[in-house]
């Protein structure tokens, strides 16, 4: 195609309008037309990455294959486009400033006074173009976090202004705003959108396309008004109303010719409209599944916030579709679980997920849930800390080590069945050691994990500091818990399962990160199938 085209997605009026979904939808539509597309997220906060952020603050921390702790929007990009993102796809203000300061300390700027313009903006521009220059993508979509008007966003907006000027037809700005509905007046109001666009224009950016988030459908008259007041073509004012599922959004955008408008504005041939066959099939299957009674799955964890377990929820939802049933996830707060109330809390659940997490809080409740599901043979899936809790509970209640724990939970306990492995001190994070990113795993033939994957060699992503202590492996295996997935290089345990139960598996890695719309994760599909069979 020649030169890389750059699309910038900005947001106004309010945060959480779905810039990530719109960016992913645009990417999906361009990808369906045969273009090579990637998406990146630029976050205005000063943290180097979201690894140190509380999930209540920022939702889950997503992990890329190259071991980068990233914004959860990268999960949307991967699920929609079926691509693998890397460290280069998520930049924060912290990383931009650190890079500039490191260069200054090395003397790269030859004694110049370092300023926001041009030094910070040049570093932002370099990062915007990095993927396009390196991998020659046809389109690089850059989502700018936060909202227009935030003080933190100004250097990014200035960088976009400069790039639009430098790149001409090869750059385009999509601005996402909110059109509120005033129930008392029975009217949709465009004034916030006008103000948001004015704010963007005041920093020298004229949006090319407006996407209006609204709870109610917008009339042609209202769209014309917005186009006129905001200096945008009528056909370039697109509405994004609430959809039953985020996966409908690409089709809603296609119906309004969003991809055609982008191609026309960037001087590219429009060509034939892609049919998005596999995507439509997925949605049809999903709608059909929703007409049946849902399968109920408990998610036992400590973060009572949807975004804190975003990838797990999406992986369960996708697995439900491929089992032709809707999965209804019930959050169960592990801090409140006791031996007395666990039966009530898990009543009616066909399967139980033991969620990941960090730290001591809520751990004992996870042990309670695991003991209950193990002794009542309820399909159970533990991820990361969930797998470690499965191992500790087994040591306490089956192997008879009443004091079994992990080194993280209790330094003094003799029976540290979850231990920190010295050889994993390669990556320092949060003052500790982490295993981050994709690692190999060899599955034991005949195991449930092997049956699910249908192959022996797999690769999955990690984000943890503690490992199964191999000193206890033989005792576990003798007592009925098998280590069915092993890292071939370090011999570390990746998967444990109890084969005598219907479905009882713990994974040290995070399988949810690699589940996509068109390729659901085999372990999630297998787990949901077992839950349905357990109804």
Question: Which DSSP helix (H) or strand (E) runs through 438?
Answer: strand 432-443
- Give the three-class secondary structure for 472: helix
Task: Identify whether the C-beta of residue 386 lies closer than 8 Å to the C-beta of residue 506.
Answer: yes
Using CA atoms, how far apart are residues 88 and 289, in angstroms rounded to an integer? 37
Using CA atoms, how far apart are residues 140 and 218, in angstroms rounded to an integer? 30
Residue 389 appears among annotated catalytic residues: no
- Catalytic residue (choose from 408, 462, 512, 521): 512
Identify the pLDDT of residue 424. Answer: 34
* Of 397, 366, 388, residue with least CA distance to 298: 366
Using CA atoms, how far apart are residues 535 and 533, in angstroms rounded to an integer? 6
Task: Identify whether the C-beta of residue 409 lies closer than 8 Å to the C-beta of residue 380.
Answer: no
| Placement of tokens 């490191």 in the chain | 102
pLDDT digits (tens), the chain, 535 positions: 679 999 999 999 887 789 999 999 999 999 999 999 999 999 999 988 877 776 767 788 899 999 888 888 999 999 999 999 999 999 999 999 999 999 999 999 998 999 999 999 999 999 999 999 999 999 999 999 989 989 999 999 999 999 999 999 999 999 999 999 888 988 999 999 999 999 999 999 999 999 999 988 999 999 999 999 999 999 999 999 988 899 999 999 999 999 999 999 999 999 999 999 999 999 999 999 999 999 999 999 988 777 889 999 999 999 999 999 999 999 999 999 999 999 999 999 999 999 998 878 888 999 999 999 999 999 999 999 999 999 999 999 999 887 777 665 445 455 666 654 433 333 333 334 688 899 999 999 999 999 999 999 999 999 988 889 898 999 999 999 999 999 999 899 999 999 999 999 999 999 999 999 999 999 999 999 999 999 9
Identify the pLDDT of residue 407. Answer: 60
Distance between alpha carbon 31 and the CA centroid of its chain, in Å?
20
Using CA atoms, how far apart are residues 240 and 242, in angstroms rounded to an integer? 7
| Placement of tokens 């033939």 in the chain | 445
Residue 330 appears among annotated catalytic residues: no
- Give the three-class secondary structure for 286: helix
Using CA atoms, how far apart are residues 373 and 345, in angstroms rounded to an integer? 12
- In this prediction the pTM is 0.91
* Of 505, 535, 506, 510, residue with least CA distance to 521: 510
Strands (E), 466-527: 467-468, 482-486, 493-497, 504-507
Extract long-range pairs of 403-406: CB within 8 Å, 24+ residues apart: 406/466
- Catalytic residue (choose from 384, 389, 441, 483): 384
- SS3 of 396-423: HHCCCCCCCEECCCCCCCCCEEEECCHH
Beta-ladder partners of 209:
174
Using CA atoms, how far apart are residues 475 and 398, in angstroms rounded to an integer? 10
Could you say which DSSP state residue 113 is in? P
Residue 384 appears among annotated catalytic residues: yes
Distance between alpha carbon 241 and the CA centroid of its chain, in Å?
22
Phi, psi dihedral angles at 448 (to 5 degrees) = -65, -35
**485, HSE (Cβ side, Cα atoms, 13 Å):** 27
Task: Identify whether the C-beta of residue 413 lies closer than 8 Å to the C-beta of residue 405.
Answer: yes
The DSSP result for 342-403, as a single string, is HHHHTTT-SEEEE----SSTTHHHHHHHHHHHHHTT--EEEETHHHHHHHHHHHHHTS--TT
Q: What sign does the dihedral 83-87-92-96 (CA atoms) show?
A: negative
Distances (CA, A) of 461 to 60, 173, 296, 436, 516: 15, 34, 27, 7, 14
């Amino acid at each position: 195609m020649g030169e890389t085209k750059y699309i910038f997605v900005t947001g106004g009026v309010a945060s959480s309008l779905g810039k990530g979904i719109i960016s992913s939808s645009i990417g999906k539509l361009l990808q369906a037309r045969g273009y090579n597309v990637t998406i990146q997220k630029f976050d205005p906060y000063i943290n180097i990455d979201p690894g140190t952020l509380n999930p209540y603050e920022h939702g889950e921390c997503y992990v890329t294959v190259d071991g980068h702790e990233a914004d959860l929007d990268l999960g949307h990009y991967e699920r929609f486009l079926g691509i693998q993102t890397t460290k280069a796809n998520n930049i924060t203000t912290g990383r931009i400033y650190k890079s500039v300061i490191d260069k200054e300390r090395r003397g790269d700027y030859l004694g110049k006074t370092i300023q926001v313009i041009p030094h910070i903006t040049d570093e932002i521009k370099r990062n915007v173009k990095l993927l396009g220059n390196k991998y020659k993508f046809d389109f690089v979509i850059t989502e700018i976090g936060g909202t227009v008007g935030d003080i933190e966003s100004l250097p990014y907006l200035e960088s976009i202004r400069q790039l639009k000027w430098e790149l001409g037809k090869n750059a385009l700005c999509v601005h996402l705003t909110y059109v509120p509905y005033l129930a008392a007046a029975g009217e949709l109001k465009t004034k916030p959108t006008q103000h948001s666009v004015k704010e963007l224009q005041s920093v020298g950016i004229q949006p090319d396309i407006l996407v209006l988030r609204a709870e109610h459908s917008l009339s042609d008259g209202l769209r014309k008004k917005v186009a006129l007041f905001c200096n945008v073509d009528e056909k370039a004012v697109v509405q994004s109303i609430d959809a039953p599922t985020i996966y409908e959004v690409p089709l809603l955008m296609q119906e309004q010719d969003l991809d055609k408008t982008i191609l026309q504005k960037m001087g590219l041939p429009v060509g034939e409209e892609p049919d998005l066959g596999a995507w439509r099939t997925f949605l049809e299957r999903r709608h059909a599944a929703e007409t049946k009674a849902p399968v109920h799955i408990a998610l036992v964890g400590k973060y009572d916030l949807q975004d804190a377990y975003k990838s797990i929820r999406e992986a369960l939802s996708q697995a439900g579709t491929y089992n032709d049933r809707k999965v209804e996830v019930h959050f169960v707060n592990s801090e409140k679980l006791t031996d007395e109330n666990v039966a009530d809390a898990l009543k009616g659940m066909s399967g139980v997920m033991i969620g990941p997490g960090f730290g001591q809080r809520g751990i004992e409740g996870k042990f309670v849930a695991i003991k209950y599901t193990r002794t009542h043979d309820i399909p159970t899936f533990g991820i990361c800390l969930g797998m470690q809790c499965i191992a500790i509970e087994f040591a306490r209640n089956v192997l008879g080590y009443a004091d079994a724990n992990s080194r993280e939970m209790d330094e003094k306990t003799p029976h540290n069945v979850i231990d920190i492995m010295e050889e994993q001190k390669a990556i320092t994070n949060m003052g500790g050691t982490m295993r981050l990113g994709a690692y190999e795993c060899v599955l034991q033939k005949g195991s449930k994990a092997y049956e699910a994957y249908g192959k022996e060699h797999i690769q999955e992503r990690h984000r943890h500091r503690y490992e199964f202590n191999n000193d206890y492996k033989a005792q576990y295996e003798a007592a009925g818990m098998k280590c069915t997935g092993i890292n071939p290089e370090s011999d570390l345990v990746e998967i444990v399962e109890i084969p005598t139960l219907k479905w009882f598996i713990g994974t040290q890695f995070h399988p949810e990160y690699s589940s996509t719309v068109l390729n659901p994760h085999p372990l999630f599909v297998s787990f949901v199938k077992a839950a349905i069979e357990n109804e």
